[in-house]
Structures are given as structure tokens and as C-alpha cells.
Amino acid sequence: MSRGLVMSRSLEKVCPSFTLYVVAFDDITYNYFKDNPEKNLKIISLDEFEDPELLKIKPTRSVGEYCWTCSSSTILYCIEKYNLDHCVYIDADMVFYNDPHVLFEEWGSRSVLITKHRYTEEYDQSALSGIYCVQFVGFKNDAEGMKAIHWWRNACLEWCYDRLEEGKFGDQKYLDDWTTRFKNVCELRHIGGGVAPWNVQQYQVIKRGANVSVKEIATKNIVDLVFYHYHGLKFFVNGTVILSDYKIQNKGVLDLYMDYVKELLEAGKELSQTLPGVNINAASNNPPFLPLNGRERLKNGLKKILGKTIYHSVARQNMFYLHDITG
């Protein structure tokens, strides 16, 4: 919940007009936002959203697989229910730093919008996870857009599992051939849309006042950072936070992560006032072993987050951590 709240509020800061349709997959989330409405946020219950086709396959999928299965159906539901002329699916674990209008301008009159992973070479998982990322994918309510979203939904109903099988993986590898399978598809070129742990090694993050931009190291091209996808950030019950499973070296990126963790903790504190006892930040009970010693502590990684000292540590597997030292 904290991730979704932070994402929604970040979009509110930079985008003058939008509606965020949120399908709540549990009663706690639905009841909270029903009783505590957020500006520009429309909450939808699972009972409203689920249809006979989804309910039929639900027992055959894990919780995660069912969420993937529903990605396409959430878009179709919103377009049809609210008679939208377009709809974009976005992940909850993202933060918007600039108005996404530039991405919509690039999309233009085309029917479908997809975003490449843009993997750094050493992390290229295209063969497994797909060329494109289901993080920011859009459809117009026109013939080609609706053809694509119906095809994707039907494909996910038939098969959507957390494994590679016959060229399929989850809901994501279905997108691999869309530029040839469907007409009028826009493959997003703006590098500020889709910066994520698996490609951030290619960029330098630059903060000048309130503005956040990215500089592509290979080309020296500088553009506004529209959104960052904080995929893989994990909280643990012992106060440990793993930032990512990928190499994160640029200080500007580390600063973004520090700010994001602070925002998540603040949002979690706010939510906990109404929802005591709820695991707001989805903290795991299985914390990793983190040997923290003086040599591992990054000197400039010491931060103060809500009055608690945070240490930044690098593990052998190039994983980055925040460790909450409570005394």
C-alpha cells in the first residue's frame, strides 16, 4: 500500500490532470481508500472487477501469477467501464519525477504504447523476461488498441505462469512480437520513461533543485527523468532494506533510493495510524545475513531517515542494502 500511495502522490505533484484507477486485490486496501479518498484516485473492489473467466482460472494460478494474469484485464475493464479513450497500466513501485505528458506526446495517435527493458548488457534477460516491460503500457480505445488488449487478455487467461515455457513467461513475453503482430504500435524512445535497476548503469542521475534528469553515458544526451521503477526493493522485519539485486553505483541514483525509502516509511507511518498491525511495507520475515563492518560501510551512505541511522553496504553479489541500526 505504501508503494502505491507514494507513486500516486508523486504523479499528483508533476501531472496537472489524471485519474488513477486502482483495483484493490484485498479488502484492507479497498476499505482504506474508500474511507480515505485520495485526489485523482478511483478505487475498484475485486468483486467489481473479477469476471467469470478470471474466477475460473484463479485457482490454477499463484497469487503473483494471478496478478500478472489480471494486468491486461484491468486495462480492458477500465476502458469499457468508464468509456475511456485510452488507458495506461503502471506499476505501483514507481515514482514520477516529471510530467509524463512528453511520453504521451511521443505516443501520439498510435494505438498501443510499449516500453523496452533497455537492459544493461550484463543484465540482459530478454530471452527469459522479455524485450518489453509491463510497467508502462498503454492502449487506445480504437480498433487496433482494442484488438491488442483483447488478444493479450485472452492469452493471459490461457497461460500466465512464473516460468519460461515455449517462449512464454508470465504476462510479459507476450509483448515481444507486438510491433509486427499489431499495427500502430509505439515503442517508447524517451529514455526518461523506464529507468530501472536493470538499466540505470547506463545513466547518470542529475538533480538540480527540484528537477531530476538523466544523462545517457554513451551519448551524453540529457533528458528529464519521467519515472523510475524501484523494482525489487525489499523490506525485512529486522529493519533491513535491500535496494536492488542490480549494481547501483551512481551517487545520484543512491540519493533517489534514500529519498524513496524515506517516503515509503513516512507513508507507512501514515497508513499504520488507521491500519495498526497491517504489514504496510510488505516486510519479509526472512532477512538476509548482512555482515556490516567498517570496511563495508560506504562513508557517504550514512543517512538520517526518521531519526534512525541508515548504513549502506555492498554485498559480494553487487546487491545494495540499507541497514537500520537501532542501537
Q: Report residue 317's pLDDT band, with 50, 70 and 90 as the boundaries.
A: very low
CA pair distance 36, 109, nearest whole angstrom: 36
- Domain contains 309: yes
The answer to whether residue 306 scores a pLDDT higher than 50 is no
Give yes or no: residues 15 and 131 share one domain.
yes
* 205 falls within a domain: no
At 72, list the grid cell: 491486461
Whether residue 163 sits in one domain with residue 109: yes
Burial degree of 211 (CB within 10 A; 0-12, 13-18, 19+): exposed
Closest CA to 248 of 298, 211, 198: 198
Assess whether 169 and 75 both reside in one domain. yes
Does 206 map to a domain?
Answer: no
318: domain range?
232-325
Record the cell numbers describing residue 326, joined without a space. 537501532
Element (H, E) at 32: helix 27-35
Q: Read off the CATH number of the domain in which 146 is found.
A: 3.90.550
- Domain membership of residue 203 (yes or no) is no
Any domain includes 207 = no
Residue 86 forms part of a structural domain: yes
| pLDDT value at residue 287 | 63
pLDDT of residue 256: 93
pLDDT digits (tens, 9 = 90+) for 22-68: 999 999 999 999 999 999 999 999 999 999 999 999 999 999 999 99
Beta bridge partners of 325: 309
Task: Say whether pLDDT at 173 is over 90.
Answer: yes
End-to-end CA distance of the chain: 28
CB atoms within 10 A of CB 64: 11
Average pLDDT rounded to a whole number, residues 147-176: 97
Last residue of a domain, one of 191, 222, 248: 191
Residue 105 Ramachandran class (φ > 0 left, ψ -120 to 50 alpha, else beta): alpha
Q: Is there a domain that residue 199 lies in?
A: no
* pLDDT at residue 127 greater than cutoff 60: yes
Q: In this structure, are 249 and 114 located in the same domain?
A: no
- Taking a C-beta distance cutoff of 8 angstroms, is the pair 221, 215 a contact? yes
176 shares its domain with 96: yes
Angle of helix 27-35 relative to helix 251-274, nearest 10 degrees?
80
Q: Are residue 253 and residue 110 in the same domain, yes or no?
A: no
| Residue 23: strand, helix, or coil | strand
The region that residue 10 occupies, defined by phi over 0 for left and psi between -120 and 50 for alpha, beta otherwise, is alpha
Are 184 and 238 in a shared domain?
no
Is 179 in the same domain as 254? no
The residue that leads in pLDDT, 103 or 320, is 103
DSSP designation for 264: H
Residue from 253, 210, 202 nearest 228 by CA: 253
The answer on 176 and 73 residing in a single domain is yes
**Helices in 58-158 by DSSP H: which ranges?**
63-81, 101-107, 126-129, 143-158
CA atoms within 13 Å, Cβ hemisphere of 214: 24
Weakest-pLDDT range from 5-9, 211-215, 312-316 = 312-316
- With residue 36 as reference, give the H or E element that holds it: none
49 and 180 assigned to the same domain: yes
Q: How many domains does the chain have?
A: 2
Verify that 37 and 162 share a domain, yes or no.
yes
pLDDT number for residue 296: 37
CA distance 207 to 155: 42
Residue 289: per-residue pLDDT: 54
Could you give the 3-state DSSP secondary structure of residue 292? Answer: coil
Tell me which of 176, 191, 206 is where a domain ends: 191
- 162 burial via Cβ count (<10 Å: 0-12, 13-18, 19+): exposed
Give burial (CB, 10 Å; 0-12/13-18/19+) of 286: exposed
89 or 251, which is more confident: 89
Q: Is the pLDDT of residue 159 over 90?
A: yes
The answer to whether residue 106 scores a pLDDT higher than 90 is: yes
Give the cell for residue 298. Answer: 560506504
Q: Which residue has the cell 469476471?
A: 51
Sequence length of the chain is 327
Burial 168-185 (b: 16+ CB within 10 A, else e): bbbbbbbbbebeeebebb
Confidence of residue 305 (pLDDT cuts 50, 70, 90): very low
- Asked whether residue 236 falls in the same domain as residue 155, the answer is no
The answer to whether position 224 is within a domain reads no
Residue 306 one-letter amino acid: L
- Look at residues 128, 159, 191 and tell me which one is the last residue of a structural domain: 191
